[in-house]
Structure 1
Amino acid sequence: MHIPDGFLDLSVAALFAALSVAVLAVAARRADGELAGARAPLLGVVAAGVFAAQMLNWPIPGGTSAHFVGGAFTAILLGPHLGALCVATVVVVQALVFGDGGVLVLGANVFNMAVVQVYVGYAVYRVVAPYNEFAGAFAAGWLGITAAAVAAGVQLGVSSAFAYELGTTLAIMGVGHLVLGVVEGAVTAVVYRYLTDARPDLRHAATSAEVSA
């Protein structure tokens, strides 16, 4: 999921960097309300957990990699705006300190993992969770990471710097993560159920995040 430098045209990288800055600026203004109650102490713990999980990568065809992202999980627990800022921070630290993902394409990686997966995953959770909370968390993780992969596929496919055309990149990233996303969905659902069983107040925090978002 982390795109390296040299895979995107500079114009594409600049466009998605601008989009990421714009979305995160709005998220920063709206995140204050998500820092109340049980979510504030969770921020550092969730960020550390997502950071560790994202460091475990495995390659997929086409020059990119797959791994647990945790964007939907973060959004469910922290709220979408704080979740986006949390995942963005993780992605930036990984790129600047550990070289996981390129620096010039950092805005594109932030857009995919901290914007697309977080907000798409959260939207899916809100739709499904009223019927079945466990299924909502699973669907959020699964479809959130698939949407993020499709965004990455578009970025790669429209870039002349990359060796494959749009149809190929969408097939590799979209279909590949549609299958691998089952793992993301399962981990999201299982860990969320475990945490909310141990700390029922977290379930109330997630519900209040839905109302305030």
Structure 2
Amino acid sequence: MHVPDGFINAPVSVAAGAVAATAVAVSLRGARRELDERTAPLAGLVAAFIFAVQMLNFPVAAGTSGHLLGGALAAILVGPYTGVLCVSVVLLMQGILFADGGLTALGVNISTMAVVTVVVAYAVFRGLLKVLPAGRRSVTAAAFAGALLSVPGAAVMFTLFYALGGTTDVPIGKVFTAMVGVHVLIGIGEAVITAATVGAVIAVRPDLVHGARGLAAPLKLRVDGRLVDAPAAAAAPVPAAARSTRPLWISGLVTALVLAGFVSYYASSSPDGLEKVAADQGIDAKAREHATADSPLADYSVKDVSDARLSGGLAGIIGVGVTVVVGTGIFWSVRRRRAEDLTATATAAPSAH
């Protein structure tokens, strides 16, 4: 759903940029509460994983494909504020390095693909967890539903932007029907990928899944024929190996590299939902060439490498590497800022007399 330059006029693009900048600023502050020394590097990994999976277009209808947006996945794994930042980092890397998504449309893309998907998915996810029985299956089911609804939610947001500032004269009803119709189908793929990934992480490290925190049911003991909560036991020391996130981080990075560097070659070559709708409805009549169309990595291929498999694979690996480095750097900076704030608060606290 990467919106190119020229789909939305300048005033609305500027307004969307202001909305996106505000959302990112709020998310930077909110992420300080979500990130700690364990989750900061994992947030960078989540961004890199989303980048990799977005290269895997899957067919959804005749001549149309879809790909992961990632807002639901990021919000559930590392928190909604950090989730907005994860997807924003991915969109920034794609726009600058790979000419995917217009630079003047960056605000539209962040508002649509990062902010709306996270807000819709996390609201649905949290709402369902309030009524479902506590447990891992409920987390996975709620993740599926949140992801499913987040994609048509993003399609509705694009339709709103088009209604306010579309550069072509296409009836808004046609745009709405076409966009929501195809993105409901894409949402099914989003839901499957999100639920499978969340379920896999919960299976090995449930303590690292933001959306699963606090869901463990208390241990029950049968006393005189009645079930009562077991008394809290002294916490046993946790081995360093159990606390380490390194095995998960390494396996996640390897998976992302394999997906982007190898599996992406077999992705569907059909246009994605927005591209198909734009071509069918004439929304792309005033689309402009990307400002970095001559980038060495434009269109997810390495310039001057003639072998398509090698060119695309190298581009994917470079993209994963750059995204994980930039993302991890940003999230570590946010984490350090939180630590500095806590230190400053503790130092400024008045002494008891």
TM-score by length of 2: 0.55
What's the counterpart of residue 208 of structure 2?
202
Q: Note if contact 1:75-1:81 (Cα within 8 Å) is conserved in structure 2.
A: yes
C-alpha change, 1:98 and 1:46, in structure 2 (3 Å) is same
1:57 Cα deviation from its structure 2 partner: 4.3
What's the counterpart of residue 102 of structure 1?
102
Q: Note if contact 1:157-1:164 (Cα within 8 Å) is conserved in structure 2.
A: no
Pairing 1:119-158 to 2, within 5 Å after superposition: 119-130=119-130, 131=132, 132-158=138-164
Q: What code does the residue aligned with 2:199 have?
A: R
- Answer with 1 or 2: which has the greater Rg: 2
Ranges in structure 1 where 5+ consecutive residues have no aligned partner: none
Higher helix share: 1
C-alpha change, 1:91 and 1:177, in structure 2 (3 Å) is same
Quick one: percent identity of the two aligned structures? Answer: 39
Distance 1:30 1:94 in 2: 24
Q: What code does the residue aligned with 1:83 have?
A: G
What's the counterpart of residue 25 of structure 1?
25
Distance 2:100 2:65 in 1: 10
Q: What code does the residue aligned with 2:184 have?
A: L
Q: Deviations over 1:62-120 (max 9, x none)?
A: xx973211111100011000110111011011011101111111100010111000111
What's the counterpart of residue 118 of structure 1?
118
Distance 1:16 1:151 in 2: 11
In the alignment, is residue 169 of structure 1 matched against residue 172 of structure 2? Answer: no
Q: Deviations over 1:19-63 (max 9, x none)?
A: 1111111111111111126422311211110011223347999xx
Distance 1:200 1:207 in 2: 7
What's the counterpart of residue 187 of structure 2?
181
1:209 Cα deviation from its structure 2 partner: 9.1
1:148 Cα deviation from its structure 2 partner: 0.9
Once superposed, which parts of structure 1, at least 4 consecutive aligned residues long, lie more than 3 Å away?
A: 56-61, 207-210
1:159 Cα deviation from its structure 2 partner: 2.8
What's the counterpart of residue 49 of structure 1?
49
Secondary structure, in 3 states, of the residue corresponding to 2:69? coil
C-alpha change, 1:85 and 1:140, in structure 2 (3 Å) is same
Q: What code does the residue aligned with 1:103 have?
A: L
C-alpha change, 1:43 and 1:187, in structure 2 (3 Å) is same
Q: Note if contact 2:206-2:212 (Cα within 8 Å) is conserved in structure 1.
A: no
What's the counterpart of residue 265 of structure 2?
none
- Bigger RCO (CA 8 Å, 6+ sep): 2
Aligned partner of 2:199 among 170, 193, 207 = 193
Q: What code does the residue aligned with 1:182 have?
A: I
Q: Note if contact 1:34-1:209 (Cα within 8 Å) is conserved in structure 2.
A: no
Q: Note if contact 1:116-1:144 (Cα within 8 Å) is conserved in structure 2.
A: yes
Work out the number of aligned pairs and report it.
Answer: 207
In the alignment, is residue 9 of structure 1 matched against residue 9 of structure 2? Answer: yes
Q: Note if contact 1:158-1:165 (Cα within 8 Å) is conserved in structure 2.
A: no
